[in-house]
Structure 1
Amino acid sequence: MIFSDRQYAVSKEQLTNLQKAATAIQASGAKLDWLKEIESSALKSQIADIQREMAEYNFLKSGAAGFTEEFAFEDLPRVLIQARIAKGLSQTDLAEALGLKAQQVQRYEATNYMSASLARLMEVASVLGVRVSASYGASQQRSEGAIYAWSDASSVEWNRFPLREMAKRGWIKGGDLGASARTWFHDVAGPQFATALHRKKMHSGNAPNEHALLAWQARVLEKARNDFDTGLIDEFSLDDRWLSQLVALTRERDGPRRAKDLLGRNGIGLVIQSHLPGTYLDGAAMIAPFGNPVVALTLRFDRLDNFWFVLFHELGHVFLHLHNSLRFDFFDEENGHRGDQYEEDADKFSLDRLIPQDAWRKALSRFALTEEAVAIDAETLGISASIIAGRIRKERNDYRLFTNLVGSGTVRAQFEGMME
């Protein structure tokens, strides 16, 4: 990790030298191809590590990071360093605020605060405005609202990626799939997505495979980058007034496909990506390296009601959460356990945007439970009957109701060829 402007300058110089060396290797005709490939891969790895550290330092220095979130205690040392940089404080500034010598703060940070007492950690947290919390839960509850993060990209065990499945889908290739996976991940996502800057907040009733989760995210970002580079994603503004147009699309037969175009015109990438085994995903929301929000859907359940509810849930994360925390990437399973404030907020956003509360209280179909009543309410509200049917099924926890109205088998076909 880079701790100061001086270290940043040194890293920048190192990066320039490594990039020149990488270029020289490719231009050299004297070496065998396999030897050039080995040397080139090693340099790419070093370059990616430095770029990650520089990107993290620039992000923190920009002031875009917030530190009023609650962090797990084991993450506190790194968070304190990040918070100090984000507040524009040098190690000397922090030392003065604590009544210490600058060398002591340098030692603390160089050793990840291993030599600091609990009292000192609390004092530093107070000065930097970092709130600390701790909690305990039985192991079987681990997946509910769990947060996954790696200290840095080098701590990821690349061979634990679902390599065969990734190769089968054409994401990676080559003899050493583990090395290919690392190179591919760095190229399409960037190493910062495997750090504390991009903590994975997983809301699920199942324990996901963290490495499959990370690989799936990289594939989503790769697709989003392709859309961005070809002009399919415009500039984003934190303005949700256009969502009424999206609600109107729910009535159209090809509404899901047209939703991708509408989101793109408003600066949000929509990626349809089937989930990897062990991830149990329905949707996700994240910010791509090029700065725009990206919503990803797996279409694990091929139903219209599921598509629209999950899409608006992830848009809730985009407009409520993505821009006011330290890089939470949200991953959701529709039937995961509730009780998480982030998820409750996103659920409410989804429900209210699709059917305002006052309108839902007056809906005839909630009580009549007939297809005719659903059709009347859908016409009155200007939305798809599938949304009303799906909401009634969920609220009553009776999925035998309205099976003919939820649009089963009508969504995936609209995204044929886009899911792998």
Structure 2
Amino acid sequence: MIRSNKQLAVARQKLEKVEEALQGSTAEVDRQVWVSLAKELRCEIDEYRAIKSGQTTVFQVSSLDDVGEALIKARMACGLTQKQLADRLGVSEQMVQKDEAGGYESASVARLADVADALDYQLTGNLQPAGLKTQVTVVNAPTMTYGTPPAAENRVLRAAVDLHEMQGTR
């Protein structure tokens, strides 16, 4: 995932080199590899542009493992820097950098909910047995005129996940 304009520039350079290699390649197997790599780079570049431009504001999450990446994308879609998010959370910029560098892997569920709240996003979906496959979605909710505020919904999700984790440790 591209997370900055600097990474975007690097991805563009890689794409140019891949396209050059593709044009110079004659073996079908080599061509397939280069085409696949070029397609992947284009998708990442397009995704970053869509997020930064505000065209993409809803991020699909199919498991808790996906929440970290969705929160990073949500921050970018909000146009916030890591420093601005840190200010909203009342933590250091280095803490946000560390969380994002690790994809929020070591962050608690409470921390994930706090980040979602700070971004004015809500996490919606179901907590259900692992055998049932449905998607959870992080949705942008900057203007809410009725219903439960995002912070309250995230607290409910946090409690549900904590209960699930406690049951798993028995």
Are the equivalent residues in 2 in contact too, given 1:70–1:132 (CA < 8 A)? no
1:232 corresponds in structure 2 to none
One-letter amino acid matched to 1:147: Q
The alignment status of 1:111 with 2:99, answered yes or no, reads no
The alignment status of 1:45 with 2:36, answered yes or no, reads yes
RMSD across aligned C-alpha pairs, in angstroms?
3.0
Q: CA deviation at 1:56?
A: 0.9
Q: CA deviation at 1:83?
A: 0.5
For structure 1, the residue ranges without an aligned partner over 5 or more in a row are: 27-35, 149-195, 197-324, 327-420
* Shift in CA distance, 21/139, structure 1 to aligned 2, threshold 3 Å: closer
One-letter amino acid matched to 2:84: D
One-letter amino acid matched to 2:120: G
* Shift in CA distance, 135/89, structure 1 to aligned 2, threshold 3 Å: same
Instruction: State how far apart, in whole Å, the 2-side matches of 1:16 and 1:70 are.
Output: 30
What are the equivalent positions in structure 2 for 1:185-264 lying under 5 Å apart? Answer: none
Q: CA deviation at 1:2?
A: 0.7
Select the residue among 29, 42, 45 that pairs with 1:54: 45
Query: Which SS does the other structure have where 2:25 is aligned?
Result: helix
1:147 corresponds in structure 2 to 135
The alignment status of 1:95 with 2:83, answered yes or no, reads no
Q: CA deviation at 1:65?
A: 2.5
Q: CA deviation at 1:87?
A: 0.8
Q: CA deviation at 1:40?
A: 1.8
* Shift in CA distance, 58/52, structure 1 to aligned 2, threshold 3 Å: same
> Bigger relative contact order, structure 1 or 2, given CA contacts below 8 A and separation 6+?
2
Q: Which has the higher helix share?
A: 2
Q: CA deviation at 1:88?
A: 1.2
Instruction: State how far apart, in whole Å, the 2-side matches of 1:71 and 1:101 are.
Output: 27
* Shift in CA distance, 72/50, structure 1 to aligned 2, threshold 3 Å: closer
Identity %: 32
* Shift in CA distance, 124/73, structure 1 to aligned 2, threshold 3 Å: farther
* Shift in CA distance, 106/49, structure 1 to aligned 2, threshold 3 Å: farther
Instruction: State how far apart, in whole Å, the 1-side matches of 2:87 and 2:122 are.
Output: 21
Q: CA deviation at 1:80?
A: 0.4
1:79 corresponds in structure 2 to 70
Query: Which SS does the other structure have where 1:65 is aligned?
Result: coil
For structure 2, the residue ranges without an aligned partner over 5 or more in a row are: 141-170
TM-score by length of 2: 0.67
Query: Which SS does the other structure have where 1:132 is aligned?
Result: strand
* Shift in CA distance, 47/103, structure 1 to aligned 2, threshold 3 Å: farther
Structure with max Cα Rg: 1
Q: CA deviation at 1:97?
A: 2.6
1:189 corresponds in structure 2 to none
Render the CA deviation track for 1:294-352: whole Å, top value 9, x for unaligned.
Answer: xxxxxxxxxxxxxxxxxxxxxxxxxxxxxxx79xxxxxxxxxxxxxxxxxxxxxxxxxx
Equivalent residue pairs, number = 138
Q: CA deviation at 1:139?
A: 7.1
Instruction: State how far apart, in whole Å, the 2-side matches of 1:79 and 1:99 are.
Output: 21
Are the equivalent residues in 2 in contact too, given 1:73–1:133 (CA < 8 A)? no
Q: CA deviation at 1:70?
A: 9.1
Render the CA deviation track for 1:221-271: whole Å, top value 9, x for unaligned.
Answer: xxxxxxxxxxxxxxxxxxxxxxxxxxxxxxxxxxxxxxxxxxxxxxxxxxx
* Shift in CA distance, 13/111, structure 1 to aligned 2, threshold 3 Å: same
One-letter amino acid matched to 1:3: R
TM-score by length of 1: 0.29
1:12 corresponds in structure 2 to 12
Are the equivalent residues in 1 in contact too, given 2:63–2:135 (CA < 8 A)? no
* Shift in CA distance, 47/84, structure 1 to aligned 2, threshold 3 Å: same
Query: Which SS does the other structure have where 2:116 is aligned?
Result: helix
One-letter amino acid matched to 2:82: Q
Query: Which SS does the other structure have where 2:91 is aligned?
Result: coil
Instruction: State how far apart, in whole Å, the 2-side matches of 1:76 and 1:38 are.
Output: 36
